[in-house]
Amino acid sequence: MSFKRLKRVFLYFILIMFFNTSNHAEDQNSGVGIYIDQDFLVPFTNEDRDYTMGFAVEFFGEKDDGLYPLDGLAKTAGEWLGIEESNNNIIYSFMLGTLAYTPDDLADSQPIYNDRPYSSLIYLSNKRVRTDGKNALAAEVLLGVIGSKLPGELQESFHSIYRDVADLGPTEDPVEPKGWRHQISDGGELTLRLRLTNSRLQEKLSIPKRFDLTTTMGLALGFQTNVNLGFAMRAGKLRSPFWSLPYDPINRGNFVPHKGEDEWYFWSALNARVIGYDALLQGQFRHSDVKFSYDEIEHVVYDGGVGLTLGFDESQLTFSANMKSSDLKLTTRKQVWGSINYLYYF
């Protein structure tokens, strides 16, 4: 599929979702989120490698309407966690996203065997969340394509525009990435992931409307197979529920947004993951020029973030800095990137 055609398909889905959700303006907890990840958003850390960029659009609400093509699978998965169809406190989410990973040396057009491979994902996901105020159970089904040409072409275009604006030469950073044809599953293949998450508000450590602490356990099965244990804390003027924390929604966001008028808070999150399989490093079924074996990947990986969230009458804005430990045993460097998240409520 060509780059132009993929862009048309992406815009088509966005328009469908807008017109399906905009008919329910009376539901104040329905809305759309736009999420942007870029390593240059954190000053002095722009190394343009590892997790280099991500973009996603999420549509969410409290009613089972709109376009939810994977909701049947999410419903079945949710029933494993006790998310029953009869409950009226279920929140639904639909997300379209893309992300890209690269090695350190972008100027090398040959396969690089001593660094992480080029890899990418384009996906759509459906999510169901049930909450009772103290616990939040989430079931997510993600269907995607790894190895597509779109993320590489987006990165090339972004670097070209940046060099033009900054009046930089073709050999100056950020250079044109030349190794995308060696990415994992180059040419594209379908992939799938199921994720189940349980988050709990720790009452004894919470001060209502000023501070809360949450613990989370999760299981992912599919192109990324892992289990995780983490915690998150918020401090400030809190109006939204604990399970709406906007931590890394493109990659690891467990829950969905919720309106919190006239609020602000600082937050932090930390997770430990035990990795069983990661197709973005190890490959899947299609041939990959560069990939790593089970023994070469790290099996305990840490990720975390700190951020500031500002809630207004009809919108929410979040700025954050994120970090992740190395995915491979051959390098100990950490991945650092910044995020800007914007929510608008219908």
CATH code, domain with 40: 2.40.128.140
Q: Tell me which residue range forms the domain holding 246.
A: 3-345
**Residue 67 structure tokens:** 């376009």
**What mean pLDDT is reported for the chain?**
85
For the four alpha carbons of 53, 57, 152 and 294, in that order, the dihedral sign comes to positive
- Per DSSP, the three-state class of 285 is coil
Residue 298: is its pLDDT beyond 50?
Answer: yes
- Which tens digit of pLDDT belongs to each residue from 72-120? 777 777 777 666 654 557 788 899 999 999 999 988 999 999 999 999 9
Distances, alpha carbon 253 to alpha carbons 93, 95, 109, 199, in Å: 11, 11, 34, 12
Q: How confident is the model at residue 6 (pLDDT cuts 50, 70, 90)?
A: very low
Segment 150-161, tens digit of pLDDT: 988 888 887 777
Q: Are 218 and 198 in contact (CB under 8 A)?
A: yes
**Higher pLDDT pick, 273 / 46:** 273
Q: What is the pLDDT of residues 21-37, one digit of tens each?
A: 334 334 457 899 999 99
Query: What's the rounded mean pLDDT across residues 158-174?
Result: 74
Query: Angle 3-21/150-166 helices, nearest 10 degrees?
Result: 100
Q: Is the pLDDT of residue 20 over 80?
A: no
pLDDT at 46: 66
Predicted confidence at residue 266, as pLDDT, reads 97
- The DSSP output letter for 242 is G
For the chain, percent of residues with pLDDT exceeding 70? 82
Q: What is the pLDDT of residue 157?
A: 83
Asked if residue 223 has pLDDT above 60, the reply is yes
pTM value is 0.86
The alpha carbons of the chain give a radius of gyration, in whole angstroms, of: 20
Domain count, the chain: 1
Strands (DSSP E) contained in the chain are 31-38, 50-61, 90-102, 119-131, 135-146, 189-201, 211-222, 224-237, 263-278, 300-311, 315-324, 335-345
Q: Hunting for tokens 């987006």 — which residue is that?
A: 154
What pLDDT, on a 0 to 100 scale, did the predictor assign at position 86?
A: 47
Q: For residues 51 and 103, give the distance between their C-alpha atoms in angstroms, rounded to a whole number.
A: 9
More confident position, 238 or 169: 238
